[in-house]
């Protein structure tokens, strides 16, 4: 799908052409490769970019978090309304629920989002010895991401998923037959990759809606999605029972690079 106008619909969906077109969002699809990376490179897993002036992040018990992902916006294709520079990091707790607070999914006691607007590429000014993590990691549950992966990014477009809480806003009078036809078109005709990792765009869900749990506020948009991507020989990313991890942010907070209220969720089968 190359643009919001490049849509071929089955006859049953033609009456919804405009609504479907309006639901389409651009995103950056992430392809991963199991490679070692530089400290400041975009990555899943591995060791973090950390200036010597910054403490390594911990949970509320003082236990070290694990780097889930790192995005260097200076080196990836630009996406509208997203940063044009700097490094954004995603850390999670290495226990069985990965730091998720079900009562307040913006509570960063068990996960952490850190943004560096300026990037230091002089390794003399970075932490490069992470031996202090080894003893702790031997006693914890682990991370959905095993290993270290370099990332590449491709501009793409996709319509809304039927499990998204905003689906009813685009299609307020849908019925079961419509859902079945739409879902078949979404999954087969558009060849949507259900294991996609992405920045921005329409999210995917396993357990259904999570994004609009605060209806009195503006909608959250997808910041980062990491899906289960399991292959014994190449990839080993798995959220619980083959789930999906999502991070959301309010557009007004993204505009001012305020990542203190990011909404974090993951779900599995």
d(CA 58, CA 111): 8
Put the strands of the sheet holding 43-45 in their side by side order.
111-116, 87-92, 66-72, 43-45, 148-158, 25-33, 197-199, 221-227, 244-249, 263-267
Domains and CATH numbers, the chain: 11-267 (2.30.320.10)
Mean pLDDT computed over 124-147:
82
pLDDT in tens, 196-210: 899 999 998 876 655
The fraction of the chain above a pLDDT of 70, given in percent, is 86
pLDDT average, residue stretch 124-140? 81
34-92, pLDDT tens digit by residue?
A: 988 899 999 999 999 999 999 999 999 999 999 999 999 999 999 999 999 999 999 99
pLDDT, residue 218, reads 57
pTM of the predicted model as reported, rounded to 2 decimal places: 0.92
Residue-wise pLDDT for 200-236, tens only, equals 999 988 766 554 454 544 588 999 999 998 765 666 8
- Model confidence over 13-31: pLDDT tens digits? 999 999 999 999 999 999 9
Any bridge partners for residue 64, and if so which? Answer: 58
Residue 6 in this model has a pLDDT that exceeds 80? no
Q: Hey, what are 112's tokens? A: 């952490």
Q: How far apart are CA 41 and CA 247, in angstroms?
A: 20
């Amino acid at each position: 799908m190359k643009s919001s106008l490049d849509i071929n619909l089955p006859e049953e969906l033609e009456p919804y052409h405009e609504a479907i077109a309006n639901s389409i969002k651009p995103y950056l699809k992430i392809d991963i490769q199991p490679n070692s990376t530089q400290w400041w490179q975009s990555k899943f897993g591995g060791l973090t970019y950390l200036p010597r002036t910054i403490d390594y992040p911990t949970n509320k018990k003082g236990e070290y978090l694990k780097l889930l992902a790192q995005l260097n916006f200076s080196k990836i294709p630009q996406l509208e309304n997203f940063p044009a520079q700097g490094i954004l990091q995603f850390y999670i707790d290495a226990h069985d629920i990965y730091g998720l607070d079900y009562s307040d999914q913006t509570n960063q006691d068990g996960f952490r989002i850190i943004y560096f607007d300026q990037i230091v590429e002089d390794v003399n000014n970075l932490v490069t010895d992470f031996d202090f993590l080894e003893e702790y990691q031997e006693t914890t549950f682990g991370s959905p991401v095993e290993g270290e992966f370099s990332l590449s990014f491709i501009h793409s477009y996709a319509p809304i998923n039927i499990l998204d809480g905003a689906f009813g806003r685009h299609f307020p009078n849908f019925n079961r037959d419509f859902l079945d036809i739409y879902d078949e078109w979404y999954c087969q005709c558009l060849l949507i990759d259900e294991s996609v990792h992405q920045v921005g765009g329409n999210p995917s869900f396993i357990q259904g809606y999570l994004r609009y749990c605060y209806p009195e506020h503006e909608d959250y948009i997808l910041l980062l999605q990491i899906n289960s991507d399991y292959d014994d020989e190449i990839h080993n990313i798995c959220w619980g029972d083959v789930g999906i991890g999502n991070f959301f942010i309010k557009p007004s907070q993204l505009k001012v690079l305020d990542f203190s209220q990011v909404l974090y969720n993951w779900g599995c089968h």
